Amino acid sequence: MTVLGLIGIAAGAFLLSAIPATLGIYGYTAPLIVITVGYALFQTANNTAVMTDTRPEQRGVISGLLNLSRNLGLVAGASVMDAVFAAASSTIDITTAPPDAHATGMRATFAVAAVLILLALAIAVATYRHELYGWTMASIAES
């Protein structure tokens, strides 16, 4: 489910980066629903995967570290995506920017997000394959 959730998040982010503004509110909300469902699938599966192999006496610490890493990622991600939006919109004062600048900034931001999610997806797939087959990059290179 972790991989399925990441696929959903990536699909929604790519849709938001590519859908034309002429689709209006439906062109904006439909990909957001896809992202939300994907995020819910990812979070529950990821939390379960992390907590399943944890010893009972370590669950509090691991849960705290999991929440800390999630919050750090959310704060850092929001800051980086804000910088991407500002750079892509090519304006100094966003309050007076034309609508096209806003649209360009949003498209670029969601495109960068989609690429980063694909990177996370590649890591999740590699981890899953390693757990399933015991593969390592060294054993693949040797064959």
Q: How far apart are CA 68 and CA 84, in angstroms?
A: 24
Q: Spell out a b/e string for 97-136, using b for 16 or more CB atoms within 10 Å of the CB, else e.
A: eeeebbebbbbbbbbbbbeebbeebeebeeeeeeeeeeee
Helix (H, G, I), strand (E, B) or coil at 14: helix
Query: Model pTM greater than 0.95?
Result: no
Find the mean pLDDT for residues 13-24.
90
DSSP letter (8 states) at residue 19: S
Beta strands in 25-131, from DSSP E residues, in sequence order: none
Asked if 91 and 97 touch (Cβ cutoff 8 Å), the reply is yes
Q: How far apart are CA 106 and CA 82, in angstroms?
A: 10
Using only C-alpha atoms, the chain has a radius of gyration, in whole angstroms, of: 19
Considering only residues 140 and 11, tell me which one the structure prediction assigns the higher pLDDT: 11
Q: What is the pLDDT of residues 93-104, one digit of tens each?
A: 888 888 889 889
Q: How many helices (H) and strands (E) does the chain have?
A: 5, 0
Output the pLDDT for position 91.
Answer: 83
Output the pLDDT for position 73.
Answer: 92
Most confident of 49-53, 62-66, 131-135: 62-66
Q: How far apart are CA 34 and CA 103, in angstroms?
A: 20
Residue 105, both tokens: 């900034």
